[in-house]
Structure 1
């Protein structure tokens, strides 16, 4: 697959990391293969997760990750052409069959594909319920799933919080050991993935310097002593957000009919 834009984007991102004085640590990078297909499954805590998620594969010979992202991003007049030039995969939440096969095809061709199995950002800052799509895609393609935990990205840009790109932020990336789904029980293996990825997120929180993560910090899960909403409250907030979006769409449709 020919990549013209991706290398330039990586150079620009690394330059930005240096300008911002960011301290990025990648643990377990040896778990990402230097060749062959693999599905990288990430937790989702901020809008810039895909940038740092892609960085996780750089130690593996500079490999590139093709991310699965919602179709609306590809519809954007500026972001869309860029996403397509990076060979990312659009996901139509109303009909995910095409994106499923697109991802499987890439994996069978030896590509790394990135997926956020929670589908949306977790306001709770811990892993919420995940979809079975990751396990089903990996099983169909016959490739391993590699769980990857991101931590610190939420401090820059996430839901309900102002953007904060001040210098010196720390980003932690922990790459777990790969496992190959058997296909015997997609739900059970999805639970397995949830447990592994949740454990990696807890590890990332626990190993983050206390001086940069004071007790009660808003970006830390309530379960771990932080100020983020509980999973239950976060779900309520997500539901409220969905209802509000539906209301706005209905108003727009009604306005067009007038």
Structure 2
């Protein structure tokens, strides 16, 4: 196994920070992460930090996660250094074909590539509609897609929510689902993936105590989060504002 000092250091720091926060992390389904070979890990997106829990779960299997992340993050010198050291695949949304090619090459080399098929954080904390990039990469590289659900990380920090980065002792669950073979067409594969991730999310939520009216709890479960329709309207307003 190739030694990657930056990745190992970042992983170690992340584990220490989780302990300092007192996070009660439960990880299930790790046997579904292949010991060798490439795979797309499709992760739900509710928090700015859910990738940390996904990567630490992968680390339990002695493997590394190559996350796809927007290239603007690398404009920060420190963050850019860490991203390069961790093998992050940068995504320029104005030139997506290059990121797609780099992702497929990584999969063919036997890497685990982490993708957010929802593309942006779900304000409703439900599974949103998917982009087809994850499915298309899996088909092109001939590798499976593995669904990964992270639940509870939205309490730490999420879009429009408070930051709770101290010793909060929040429970967080990570569940890895069974591999989905890369069947064509991509749109059908994306829908299969979305249905599977939605089912896993509901299963994980069943084991949680959800505070009535809490901002981090979906409306479906009695929480104060926007409904999917309300969240979509907020996202549309933000896109229009950026366009102006």
**Large movers: runs of 4+ above 6 Å:** none
If you compute each CA radius of gyration, which structure gives the higher value, 1 or 2?
1
The reply on whether 1:45 has 2:54 as its aligned counterpart is no
SS in 2 for 1:56: helix
Residues 151-179 of structure 1 deviation map (CA, whole Å, 9 limit, x = unaligned): 01100110111211232111100100001
Name the structure 2 match of 1:131: 131
Instruction: For 1:228 and 1:93, locate their aligned partners in 2 and report how far apart those are by CA, in whole Å.
Output: 28
Instruction: For 1:85 and 1:22, locate their aligned partners in 2 and report how far apart those are by CA, in whole Å.
Output: 26
Name the structure 1 match of 2:18: 17
The reply on whether 1:114 has 2:114 as its aligned counterpart is yes
Name the structure 1 match of 2:141: 141
Q: How many residues align?
A: 242
Instruction: For 2:214 and 2:166, locate their aligned partners in 1 and report how far apart those are by CA, in whole Å.
Output: 17
Name the structure 2 match of 1:97: 97
Instruction: For 2:126 and 2:35, locate their aligned partners in 1 and report how far apart those are by CA, in whole Å.
Output: 29
Name the structure 2 match of 1:172: 173
CA contact (8 A) 2:42 2:117 kept: yes
Instruction: For 2:154 and 2:26, locate their aligned partners in 1 and report how far apart those are by CA, in whole Å.
Output: 16
SS in 2 for 1:190: helix
Q: Unpaired segments of 5 or more residues in structure 2?
A: none
CA RMSD in angstroms comes to 1.2
Instruction: For 1:135 and 1:19, locate their aligned partners in 2 and report how far apart those are by CA, in whole Å.
Output: 37
Q: CA deviation at 1:217?
A: 2.2
Instruction: For 1:7 and 1:153, locate their aligned partners in 2 and report how far apart those are by CA, in whole Å.
Output: 22
Name the structure 2 match of 1:8: 9
Residues 123-143 of structure 1 deviation map (CA, whole Å, 9 limit, x = unaligned): 010111111111110111111
Q: CA deviation at 1:2?
A: 5.2
CA contact (8 A) 2:161 2:215 kept: no
Q: CA deviation at 1:189?
A: 1.2
Normalised by the length of structure 2, the TM-score is 0.96
Residues 19-71 of structure 1 deviation map (CA, whole Å, 9 limit, x = unaligned): 111111101111001111111000000101111110121221x2110000011
